[in-house]
Amino acid sequence: MNRFYVTTPIYYVNDVPHIGHAYTTVLADVLARLHRLFGIPTWFLTGTDEHGQKVQQAARAAGIEPREQADRTVVRFQELWRKLQITHDDFIRTTEARHVRAVRAVLQDLYDRGEIYQAEYDGWYDVSSETFVTERDLDLAEGEEPIGRPNIIRVRETNYFFRMSRYQEWLVEYIESHPDFIRPDFRRNETLGFLRTRPLGDLCISRPKNRLSWGIELPFDPAYVCYVWFDALLNYITAIGYPHDPATFAKWWPASLQLIGKDILTTHTVYWPTMLKALGLPLPRTVFAHGWWLMGNTKMSKSLGNVVNPMDMIERHGVDAFRYFLISEMVLGQDASFSEEAFERRYNSDLANDLGNLVSRLATMLSRYHHGRWPAPAGAPTDGPELVVWQAAQDAVAGMERALTTYELDRAVAGAITAIRAINRYLEQRAPWNLARHAHERERLHTTLYTAGECLRVAASLLHPVMPGRIAELRRAFGLSETPAPEELRQWGVLPVHAPVQLTGPLFPRIEDRGHAQASAGTGPSESARTAPAPAAQGGLVSIEEFSKIQLRTARVVAAEPVPGTNKLLKLEIDLGSERRTIVAGIAQHYQPADLIGRTIVVVANLAPANIRGVESRGMLLAASSGSSLRLLTVDGDLPPGSPIR
């Protein structure tokens, strides 16, 4: 791939932006940033659709002129894009002179070549979508009236039509022979089904000024303005120079990816390709229709009052967390359900626990074991755990690179988080807290810390397109430039040896759950670090039946922090495989919170809940003590969380 041109739909200025607008634009931005990350020249276009009946109606309702309606509303999109850190190369408004001039040139060209003609239309018109519709479209019997549908009106008027019908057979053949043109596949089949089951009519591309004056005037008949969809679709080529700047146009067209919502599939996979064919221009490589954000199983709708305001989410949780949720939660092409609970769950799991705690843990160990600076490693990984964890980071790079063509961003992001978890396992395996006790292990300790840092640098760089603000902050703290260079992803030894690591505060502070204990709460020992009570039995012996009642499981520590008001207790969040719990343990005088994260411990999983210093705790970790020394019980080798102890 030698260049990448990505577009969003241009958004109507009849109302304020919502989560659907934000999702499409963040998605395009992540893909644009991702291509830049891999060194691919990129152009990213978005903008606003400012003509048509809806805008004219919104302006009339507000008592203002349509141009003022557009000027007032466009700033809300521009403000949101700034908040969301959108890096578009161009923002086009269809009221701009460059677009108006180009649209008029296209209309005149098509009219001169007989692709546009004048005729009388007598039929139904859908005011809400601003389209002429047939009785078949409305599912009406011949002569039947659309009762109870005030948006459908009868229209009889002379208009201008684009000869779209002549391209029906060609379009079917093109879609069949170019499987990547419409994605996902089921949307491709939807368009093919539409084209195979009904004759394609000609497209009305004008509106008489006595009915609609807010639009681009036809160059060959000043009594008419251009139909808003015909005008709007052309923005994808007028913004890059068509037809007046052929050099720039040739540089970027055809588009690599045109992102749309599934509700505008027909306009982009029937109207748009036939328009391009009539102009003698190549079609975009891919038109990708993504799904809707739902509340439960219901589409977000202003009339239902369930629309999520992106500005509110950003204020509460930050831009990067909002962007991360949008990209990681939706499988591109499918619908996804939005809820505060789902947002908090993913944030706490992926960002606060996995990424945030790893960063804090590594920074703490560097401060404790190497004066807060990057140590010099023995060399690049060649074998052993160092090679394994470096390979995990490189696997994440390969997965992200695949997303350049598959667009499976949720899987690519999950791959980066998987690499981060592998770094936590690596630290647990190498146990730098033990290496630091022995002078002869100094080289291995330095190699461990540097290896963990290098792998974290790579994994974090892959998340930079999704969370540019926080990842830039992390890179600055690591002594790096804010934006990763393409060659860094596969290069070892980028972290500057002996440079200070200057991280202040948690990267992603945990969101506390509302009205209940964190995660799935668990039981832990009291302040005296109680041990599991032994079942009573004659002579102090325990029968196998009694012992079998105790469920011992492996658990991975994903978060740790002191319990306020005590210097003995730590609150741990543990992963038991099928669930997460909170336990309280009296080990604060023996372990620092950062030293515990990522460790696999042994817990009693079926202990009755207990409330310890206001924290409900379910479960108890096992530890051995001798005099003033206490050590956690762990397992030999790498077992998944929740494995039974037999």
Integer Cα distance of 266 and 271 in angstroms: 7
For the residues 515-535, what does the mean pLDDT come to?
A: 33
The residue written with tokens 């394609």 in the block is: 200
pLDDT cut 70: percent of the chain above it: 89
497 in a domain, yes or no?
no
- 498 domain-assigned: no
Q: How far is CA 41 from CA 32, 89, 486, 566, 581, in A?
A: 9, 12, 12, 56, 46
pLDDT tens for each residue of 213-259: 999 999 999 999 999 999 999 999 999 999 999 999 999 999 999 99
Look at residue 330 and tell me if it is in a domain.
no
Q: How confident is the model at residue 530 (pLDDT cuts 50, 70, 90)?
A: very low
Within 10 A of 49 (CB to CB), how many other CB atoms are there? Answer: 24
Q: Which two three-digit tokens encode residue 142?
A: 């011949």
Residue 460 has pLDDT above 90, yes or no: yes
> 496 in a domain, yes or no?
no
Pair 533, 480 in one domain: no
How far is 54 from 233, CA to CA, in rounded Å?
17
Determine whether 454 is exposed, middle or buried from the number of CB atoms within 10 Å of its CB (0-12, 13-18, 19+): buried
* Residue 325: inside a domain: no
Cα separation values, 162 from 109, 233, 351, Å:
12, 14, 52
Kindly state whether residue 495 falls inside one of the protein's structural domains.
no
pLDDT tens digits, residue range 339-377? 888 888 999 999 999 999 999 999 999 999 999 999 999
Domain boundary among 225, 244, 265: 225
**Cα–Cα dist 637/644, whole Å:** 14
Q: Are residues 363 and 219 in the same domain?
A: no
Residue 300 has what pLDDT? 53
Q: How far apart are the first and last CA of the chain?
A: 54
* pLDDT, average across residues 408-435: 96
Give the whole-angstrom CA distance, residue 393 versus residue 382: 15
Tokens at 146, concatenated:
């659309």
Q: Which residue's entry shows tokens 């999950």?
A: 414
User: Which has the higher per-residue pLDDT, 134 or 446?
Assistant: 446
74, 172: one domain: no
Digit-coded pLDDT (tens) for 548-577: 568 788 888 878 888 876 878 888 888 786
Name the band, by pLDDT with cuts 50, 70 and 90, for residue 473.
very high
- Residue 153 in domain: yes
Tell me: the pLDDT tens digits for 36-91? Answer: 999 999 999 999 999 988 889 888 999 999 999 999 999 999 999 999 999 999 99
Tell whether the model's pLDDT for residue 579 goes beyond 80. no
Q: Which residues contact 583 (CB under 8 A, 6 or more apart)?
A: 522, 523, 524, 571, 572, 574, 603, 617, 618, 619, 620, 621
pLDDT at residue 519, rounded to an integer:
32
CATH (domain of 18): 3.40.50.620
Contacts of residue 204, defined as CB under 8 A and 6 or more positions apart, other chains included, come to 121, 132, 159, 160, 161, 162, 227
Residues 6+ apart with CB under 8 A from 217: 104, 224, 225, 226
Strands lying side by side in the sheet with 580-585: 520-521, 580-585, 570-575, 552-562, 600-604, 620-621
Say whether both 109 and 95 belong to one domain.
no
Q: What percent of the chain has pLDDT over 90?
A: 62
Residue 6's Cα: distance from chain center in Å?
Answer: 16
Domain boundary among 290, 310, 330: 310
The pLDDT mean for the chain works out to 87
Longest dimension (CA), the chain: 106
DSSP state of 497: T
In the three-class reduction of DSSP (H, G, I as helix; E, B as strand; rest coil), residue 421 is classed as: helix
- How many domains does the structure of the chain reveal? 4
Note the Cα 123 to chain centre separation in Å.
43
Q: Which two tokens stand for residue 608?
A: 């009755």
Are 351 and 475 in the same domain?
yes
pLDDT for position 548: 55
| Cα of 211 vs its chain's centroid, Å | 42
Check whether residue 455 and residue 376 sit in a common domain: yes
What range defines the domain where residue 608 resides?
A: 520-632
Look at residues 468, 490, 512 and tell me which one is the last residue of a structural domain: 490
Residue 437, classified by CB atoms within 10 Å of its CB into exposed (0-12), middle (13-18) or buried (19+), is exposed
Amino acid (one-letter) located at 550: I
Highest mean pLDDT among 267-276, 331-340, 571-580: 267-276
Q: Which of 238, 288, 294 is nearest to 268 (CA)?
A: 288
Beta-bridged to residue 159, according to DSSP, are 119
- In angstroms, what CA-CA distances link 197 with 168, 176, 316, 320? 11, 15, 49, 45
- Interval 590-642: pLDDT, tens: 887 867 877 888 989 888 778 787 677 888 989 887 655 788 888 766 667 77
Residue 148's pLDDT is 76
The domain that contains 109 carries what CATH number? Answer: 2.170.220.10
Tens digit of each residue's pLDDT (9 = 90 or more) over 149-177: 878 888 888 999 999 999 999 999 999 99
Query: Strand locations in 75-205, DSSP E?
Result: 90-93, 116-126, 131-133, 152-162, 182-183, 203-204
CB 570 within 8 A of CB 593: yes
State whether 47 and 118 are in the same domain: no
Residue 531 pLDDT greater than 50, yes or no: no
- The residue among 305 and 205 whose pLDDT is bigger is 205
> Residue 424: pLDDT above 90?
yes
Place of tokens 């989560």: 19
For residue 641, is the peptide bond before it cis, meaning its omega torsion is within 30 degrees of 0? Answer: no
Whether residue 80 is found in the same domain as residue 202: no
Q: How far is Cα 167 from Cα 435, in angstroms, rounded to an integer?
A: 72
Q: Is residue 455 part of a domain?
A: yes
Q: With 80 as the cut, is the pLDDT of residue 261 above it?
A: yes
Q: How confident is the model at residue 397, as a pLDDT?
A: 98
What is the Cα gyration radius of the chain? 30
- Region 188-200: mean pLDDT is 95
> Is there a single domain that holds both residue 123 and residue 197?
yes
Are 58 and 69 spatial neighbours (Cβ–Cβ below 8 Å)?
yes
Residue 44, token pair as written in the block: 């990213």
Cβ–Cβ < 8 Å for 238, 98: yes
Distances (CA, A) of 104 to 53, 101, 110, 247: 19, 5, 10, 20
| pTM of structure | 0.79
Residues ≥6 apart with Cβ < 8 Å to 240: 5, 43, 45, 90, 248, 249, 251, 252, 253
The answer to whether residue 422 scores a pLDDT higher than 90 is: yes
pLDDT at position 204 over 80:
yes
Total residues found in the chain within this entry: 646
Same domain, 432 and 347: yes
The verdict on 443 and 558 lying in the same domain is: no
Averaged pLDDT for residues 429-452: 96
Burial class of residue 159 in the structure, from the number of CB atoms within 10 Å of its CB (0-12 exposed, 13-18 middle, 19+ buried): middle
Same domain, 78 and 110: no
The average pLDDT across 24-44 equals: 97
